[in-house]
């Protein structure tokens, strides 16, 4: 008799697999996201830890950083990456998003670990933010996104760069990490001269790459077994 993996066994095997992560450039896959906008801050300079989550989303999120990090900054010159500001475009009167809706976080110098960090009171599967970085003309910039587990171990790290129009306003990218399990307890952005807004989180994991294939195989197996029973009868 040939033994085949049942749907339950396949699901159990899948659950036992280590969580996988991926760098994401959009919050489109974040189901029922919670967002911290930093709108309630007005130029508060700190190194942390500062709880930026409780008032905004009802759950503590501690921000720690290096000297001269400003929560609630409302304008920044990003050099060759243009300008950021929360008061709308002064040239054409448009209100860009998301930074046009409120204030944002801006750093000048790196902490000893070279990182802007967020510590979470409960784990999430996905976390990211809309961000940009100061850029010198002709010189590529770069910073690193890191996800940490409960013990502070690095789950994943991704080095990225953002290149926007030197004459643009509030241009940037949503960048984050989305895993197949809710095991992210900390999020770090390692780099200098960063701007960040709309910190976005979701507790819903992204499906494993093989999940749909296993489901299809399992359904096919169920159908095959049903046909075999009918033939035997």
The CATH number covering residue 56 comes to 2.60.120
182-212 pLDDT, tens digit per residue, is: 999 999 999 989 999 999 999 999 987 654 4
150 compared with 231, residue with greater pLDDT: 150
Are residue 48 and residue 9 in the same domain, yes or no? Answer: no
What is the total count of domains within the chain? 2
Are residue 220 and residue 117 in the same domain, yes or no? Answer: no
Peptide bond into 98 cis (omega under 30): yes
Are residue 222 and residue 233 in the same domain, yes or no? Answer: yes
54 compared with 18, residue with greater pLDDT: 54
Phi-psi region of 66 (alpha: psi -120 to 50; beta: other; left: phi over 0): beta
- pLDDT interval class at 85 (50, 70, 90): confident
52-56, 66-70, 201-205, range with the lowest pLDDT: 66-70
Are residue 44 and residue 12 in the same domain, yes or no? Answer: no
Contact between 47 and 65 under an 8 Å Cβ cutoff? The reply is yes
Contact between 192 and 110 under an 8 Å Cβ cutoff? The reply is yes
Are residue 75 and residue 186 in the same domain, yes or no? Answer: yes
Are residue 9 and residue 82 in the same domain, yes or no? Answer: no
Are residue 7 and residue 30 in the same domain, yes or no? Answer: no
Are residue 91 and residue 113 in the same domain, yes or no? Answer: yes
65 compared with 216, residue with greater pLDDT: 65
Are residue 82 and residue 59 in the same domain, yes or no? Answer: yes
Are residue 144 and residue 228 in the same domain, yes or no? Answer: no
pTM of the prediction?
0.78
95-139 pLDDT, tens digit per residue, is: 555 565 568 999 876 555 557 999 999 999 999 999 999 999 988
**Strand ranges, E, within 13-77:** 21-24, 34-36, 44-46, 50-51, 61-64, 69-73, 75-77
Question: Could you tell me the end-to-end alpha-carbon distance of the chain, in angstroms, rounded to an integer?
Answer: 18
- Structural domain boundaries enclosing 41: 19-207
């Amino acid at each position: 008799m040939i033994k085949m993996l049942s749907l339950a066994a396949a699901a159990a095997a899948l659950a036992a697999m280590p969580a996988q992560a991926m760098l994401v450039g959009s919050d489109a896959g974040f189901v029922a996201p919670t967002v911290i906008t930093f709108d309630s801050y007005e130029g508060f300079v700190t190194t942390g830890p500062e709880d930026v989550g409780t008032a905004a989303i009802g759950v503590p999120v501690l921000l720690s950083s290096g000297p001269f990090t400003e929560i609630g900054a409302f304008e920044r010159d990003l050099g060759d990456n243009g300008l950021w500001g929360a008061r709308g475009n002064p040239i054409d009167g448009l209100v860009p998003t998301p930074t046009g809706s409120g204030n944002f976080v801006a750093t000048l110098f790196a902490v000893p670990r070279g990182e802007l960090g967020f510590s979470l009171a409960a784990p999430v599967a996905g976390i990211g933010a809309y961000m940009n970085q100061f850029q010198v003309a002709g010189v590529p910039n770069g910073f690193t996104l890191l996800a940490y587990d409960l013990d502070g171990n690095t789950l994943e790290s991704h080095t990225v760069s953002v290149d926007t129009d030197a004459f643009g306003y509030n241009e940037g990218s949503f960048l984050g990490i989305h895993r197949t399990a809710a095991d992210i307890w900390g999020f770090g952005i390692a780099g200098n001269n960063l701007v960040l807004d709309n910190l976005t989180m979701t507790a819903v994991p992204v499906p494993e790459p093989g999940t749909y294939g296993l489901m299809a195989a399992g359904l096919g197996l169920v159908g095959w077994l049903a046909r075999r029973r009918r033939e035997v009868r």
